[in-house]
Each structure stands twice: as C-alpha cells, then as structure tokens.
Structure 1
Amino acid sequence: MSDERLLQVVLPGVVAPEGLQLRYGTVPQAGPGRVVVAVEATGVSFAEQQMRRGRYYDQPRFPFVPGYDLVGRVRATGAGVDPGLTGTRVAALVKVGGWASHVVLDAADAVPVPDGLTPAEAETVVLNGITAWQMLHRRARVRAGQTVLVHGASGGVGSVLVQLARAAGASVIGTASARHHDALRELGVAPVDYRGGDVPARVRELAPGGVDAVFDHVGGRSVTDSWHLLAPGGTLIAYGSASTRDDSGSKQWPVLRILARTWLWNALPNGRRASFYNVWAGRALGRDRFRARLRSDLTEVFGAVRRGEVTARVAARLPLADAAEAVRLAESGTVGGKVVLIP
C-alpha cells in the first residue's frame, strides 16, 4: 500500500455542502486485531445530512469524517487476525469515518459480502438494511397476513423496509410523494401521498381496522398520528425525527420527546406498544452479542438481495471527492434509493 494515498472528506462544522473539506494523508496501518479496508463504496444517509446541520442526536464534535457505513476489500491485517482475510470484500457499520479511501476496523466488525453483489449494491443495504430488518423482524415481529404502514416508503430505509415486509407476506401501505407512487405499486405497495391532505384519513380508508405496525421516521405530530392508526395489539416503531431537520435549538429534544411519548403510551392498558429504534441501542446486549446480531441480520439482508426479494436501489454513484454534490443530491428529495460515493 506504499504507493496509495489516504483521502478523507472532513465535516469541519455546520456548513453548506460546499463547506466539506478534502484531506489527504498516509494510509494507516492495521494494529492488533484490526484490518485496513480499501473502501469501494460508502454513502449519504439521513444521518450525515443531519450531522452536516449539527442536528444528529449524538454526533461527535467537529471536525470529523462522516460516513455511517461502507463496503470494501481488506488490504492488510494486524496481529491476531487471519491473514487469509486479505482480499475479502466486507461491509461494516461505523457511524462515522466511512467517507474515506481507507478505513481501519476491528476485524470482528467486518461482515463478508457474498459474491454476486457489486460494492454499490451492497452499500445501499448496510445501514438501511440492518435498520429495516431489525425493526421489522426483531421489534415489530411482522407476520404474513398483517398490514403495515411505512412512512417515507421511497427513501433509503423505507424502500428496503417495504420490500422485506412484502417478502414476509405482509400487506404494505407506504407514504411518499406522488412521483414515486408508480414504483411503489410495482412493489405491491399501496401508496399514499404525504402531501395530499389528511394522511391518517387516507390510511384509514385502506385499513379501516387499523394497521398492525407503523414505521415512522418523521417524528413530531406524525408519531401521534401513527399511534392512533394502530390496530389492537399493534406496534409503533419510531426511528427518526425528519420533520425537525431544519429546526434550531437542542438536537436531543425531538428524540427525548418521542421517548417520553412512547413511555406514556406503553403504560396504557390497550395492548398496543411503541418504541424508539436506534441500531446502537443493541450494544446493551454486550459487544460480542451486538456484533453477532449485526452480522446475522446483515447476512439475512444480503441473502434477501441475492434472492431478488430486495432490489438494491442506487440513486446515483459519485466520486468521493464530489461529496458536496452527492450531499446536495441526497438532500434534494428528487431521487429514490441511496446516493453512493466511490473512492
């Protein structure tokens, strides 16, 4: 790796996309138990969009290298790591640091990517796929014959979620802007225009008895509406606060408010339940169990892609050095799927 250079995209503070900075350096070495991964694809998720605004719940202090997930090949292994991993394509969930040409990981955090998936395809379902799989199967435990509502059904997480739900045998209602409705119908989803007036009333028309699960990334008033759309015994999974994206003030308050509401709702004797999902909450299981669960769930998602149950939706592929353009595109709301950065 002596002839290679390290390229990182740095977020220096609350800046416009053009304020992102490029930093060059020496490719790092793999310490004990670690591997160096030459990144082949990383992406722009809602998390990075919020970090740019200083609005992500527990983002690190500026400056830092964003990038929630990545796919790449192992280029070097440290002491105590099987050298046979060299050359293996892997995926990893890193939360920050992925917008780089090379990343150092704990070897235990690298999940093998099966043959048949391109780096960009695999990248679209790392964070988005783990999030969708765990909410659907570990939290809501959706079963065949049930009906679910997915807000933001054309987005990164939403588009994976609706496909996994359909593969599980559930009927799906999905909110999205009208331009995405034809694509949702092709997936077997009943679309609802979130800009078209009374969304809860439209959902009630499609599911008069309520829905068995709602997946809500919007936050704010939407969470309350989602709770009231549940059928008896139904489950609400809140996993974001997109409606507060451009708010000022505390970045923790929107999440804390959702947590307070879910706690109060769960105290009601009506059989319904609500929770706020965050992938990192699984760390309470302990490091080894958390890693094993991530590996298992991501492997399940990769399997669903290989079987054709999930289509990896790449909205666009852009060079890592063009991260500013990629962020603008991702934030425009004009594309479906995920914007992928290629080092």
Structure 2
Amino acid sequence: MSETSTTPAGATLTVTEVVVPGKVEPSGLRLVRRTLSAPAAGQALVRVESTAVSAAESAMRRGRYYGQPAFPFVPGYDLVGIVEAVGPGVDATLVGRRVAALTKVGGWATAVLLTAADLVQVPDGIGADEAETMVVNGLTAYQILHRSAKVQAGQTVLVLGASGGVGTILSQLARHAGARVLGTASPRHHDALRAMGVEPIDYRVPDLAARVRELSPGGVDAVFDHLGGESVPVSYGLLNRTGTLVCYSIASKVDETGPILPGFLRLLGKLALWEYLPTRRHASFYNVWAGAGKPGTAKRTAFQERTRTDLTYLFGLLREGVVNAKIAARFPLTEVAAALELNESSARTALGKIILVP
C-alpha cells in the first residue's frame, strides 16, 4: 500500500497498481509497485479511497472495449479519494479534500496523478464508497434519463438490468422524476426492486415483449438498454409512438471472440437509421465521454463543467437520502480477481456496485 497520508509537496511516492498485461482471466491480473512523481503544473496527487469494478473493466481484460489502451495498462474507470498534494497553478485548498474523478483507466491504484480540473469535490457527510457509486454509474444514469431521454413525470420507462450498478441508480432517479419504472432482473432481486418502487420482470421470461405489453399496452416512453446485440430491436419495438431508446453498453458482446468494432458499428448504424426514420421515435447510443474534446480545449472545459454540475447534483440527492447507494460487495484491491469474477458471474447475489478499497 502507499504511504500517501504524509506525502510532502515535491516528494516521490511508491504506489501499488493493478495491471492487466494482456487478454487474461481475472487471475492473470498483476499487482505492481512503482514510483509516482510529484504533481506537475495543473495536477493533483490523489490517494485513492474507493474505486470499483464494472462491465468496462471486464470488457477491457478481454480486449473488447472500444477505445481501450494497448496492453499492458492499469484499469479503473473512476475513483474517489483524498487530495494529498497539488502542482503549480492548482488551488492549494484542495489538499485534504475528498474528490471524485472519471478516469476511464488508471483508477485501480493506491494513488494517482490527475488533472486537477477533472476533480469534483465530494460534499461532507458522504462516504467514499457511497460517492463512488455515483461517479460513472450515477452520471450515466442521470444523463441518459434527463439529457438523452428527457423523461417526465407520468411516463413509463423500462430499465434493462435494473439490479446493476447503473440500473439501481437509474431506477431511483426515474422514480424521483415521477416516472413509472419497469425493470428486468433475476427473481432474487425482485423484492429489493419493489422496495425502490420498481415493477420487476424476470429477465429470463421467454417473451419479454409480451410481458412488457401486458404491463404497458401502449408501449413505454423510454427503454434503457445495456445489452446491445439482439436485445436492441426488441427494445425499440417496445416504444410507444413517441418513445426513446437509449443504448449505453454492449454487455451481451463481451463474452464473444470476434472483433468488437464491426458489431459496434452495426449497432450505431441501426440506431442512426431509426433516428432518421420519419417517425416520432428516437434512438441513440450514450457515451459518458461524448463531447469531451482534447485537454485544454473549450470542449474539454464544457465537458468538465457538465460533469461537475451533474455529479454535484447527484451527490446532493445522495446526501439528502433521495437516492441510496447500492453496494453489492467490497473487496480489497489485492483481491481484484475475486471482485472481477463476482462481477462476471451470473450468480451475483447482491444489488449495485462492486467496490475496490485500496
């Protein structure tokens, strides 16, 4: 583990990182120690308190996440931690503050160097693990609900994978917005979903479309689909005349062995065709990094501001108890293989996010 709690400005630091060396099983991940330099201009050194496992890392270890870096690299899509030191040009009052950050990669470590402008302060009264559930998952849920689908009170939405990291937050946010929520999940999670105000549907039901039509005969106002592949036409067919389909992952393709890009491009093409058909329905693919631009550009600044605005709002809902953090399990960083195996298992027994604690 790192000795970050007393790191003086300008000092180097030894950190532990999880490295994925190539296309490996979870047991093939490596723990590596290396020296981290002091923060440069515009950077902050963050001691990681909480990071997490998601479908993205599961895809990356298989080489099936579009846009991932070349092997070897350190996974970790997001994190929460304490700022230990800052470089020149960074507000010194950040030191000692708990912050959150989207990273895409690099978060599975005991400490990281990050661009200070990418950090979002976590309000007092919110624990690191609870805040971690709101970063990529919360942002995704909030933005697909309100920025993509623009769901309104009184509408009916269908959440595929309602028991997952995104699904649990999305369901709560939709209920908070006044929507009726139908959610697919394993029967073991149905009572928990009902407690959140969700009407559960067994994801293994032979005819999902027929079951949804029983519950919402005219179709639904929005479908949120994380599966991709064969699920997408079914999801589009469940919309009412003015409904919106938002795809935000291609989880059903992770276990396949062929190239990921052709299937992904086919999905984007299908969604684009549906979007431009002369109907009042809408279809799109959501990417949390869309519009981020290059560092130092106006696009990046706008992306940082949007991320900060949305995440700060989510933290407020969390602190007020409007949204509750759903944590499936916690693992030490050294047990990352077990965390990944649980994430990829069809026998997951708890709802929500799988947390890694450095």
TM-score normalized with structure 1 length = 0.98
What does the per-residue CA deviation read over 1:296-343, in whole Å, with 9 as the maximum and x for residues that have no partner?
111111111112121111111111111111111111131321111111
CA contact (8 A) 2:12 2:36 kept: no
Give unpaired runs (5+ residues) of structure 1.
Answer: none
Q: Gapped runs of 5+ residues in structure 2?
A: 1-6
- Distance in structure 1 (CA, Å) of the matches to 2:288 and 2:126: 24
Preserved CA contact (<8 Å) 2:82 2:95: yes
Map 1:26-105; keep pairs closer than 5 Å: 26-105=35-114
Residue identity matched to 1:329:
L
Q: Does 1:171 align with 2:180?
A: yes
Mapped partners of 2:194, 2:274: distance in 1: 33
Q: Percent identity?
A: 58
- Judge which range, 310-319 or 38-47, deviates more: 310-319
Runs of at least 4 residues off by over 6 Å: none
Three-state SS of the structure 2 residue aligned to 1:252 is helix
Question: 2:351: which partner in 1?
Answer: 336
Does residue 337 of structure 2 align to residue 291 of structure 1?
no
- How many residues are matched? 343
Tell me how large the CA RMSD over aligned residues is.
Answer: 1.2
Which deviates the most, 105-114 or 314-323?
314-323
Pick from 309, 318, 327 the counterpart of residue 340 of structure 2: 327
**Equivalent residues in 2 for 1:229-308, closer than 5 Å:** 229-283=238-292, 286-308=299-321
User: Residue type of the partner of 2:344?
Assistant: E
Task: Name the structure 2 match of 1:216.
Answer: 225
The one-letter amino acid of 1:275's match is S
Q: Which amino acid aligns with 1:22?
A: L
Question: Which range moves more in the overlay, 1-10 or 325-334?
Answer: 1-10
1:225 matched residue in structure 2: 234
1:105 counterpart letter in structure 2: L
State the AA in 1 paired with 2:200.
Answer: P
Return the alpha-carbon distance in structure 2 between the equivalents of residues 324 and 60 of structure 1. Answer: 20
For residue 108 of structure 2, give the secondary structure of its aligned residue in structure 1: coil
Distance in 2, Cα, partners of 1:98 & 1:283: 19
Q: 2:323 aligns with which of 299, 303, 310?
A: 310
The CA deviation string for residues 256-283 of structure 1, in whole angstroms up to 9 with x for no partner, is: 1111111111122120010000011132
Question: Secondary structure in 1 aligned to 2:290?
Answer: helix
Q: Deviations over 1:224-257 (max 9, x none)?
A: 0111111111110011111112111111122211
Match of 2:27 in 1: 18
Once the two structures are superposed, residues 5-33 of structure 1 have per-residue CA deviations (whole angstroms, 9 ceiling, x without a partner) of: 30000000110111000111223310001
The 2-side partners of 1:4 and 1:278 are apart by 34
> In 2, are the aligned partners of 1:240 and 1:255 still within 8 Å (CA)?
no
Contact 2:98 2:122 in 1 (8 A): yes
Alignment deviations for residues 184-227 of structure 1 (CA, whole Å, 9 cap, x no partner): 11111111111121111100100001100100001111110111
Moved more, 13-22 or 276-285: 276-285
| AA aligned opposite 1:228 | G
- Give the C-alpha shift of residue 4 in structure 1: 5.4
Q: Is the 8 A contact 1:28 1:36 kept in 2?
A: no
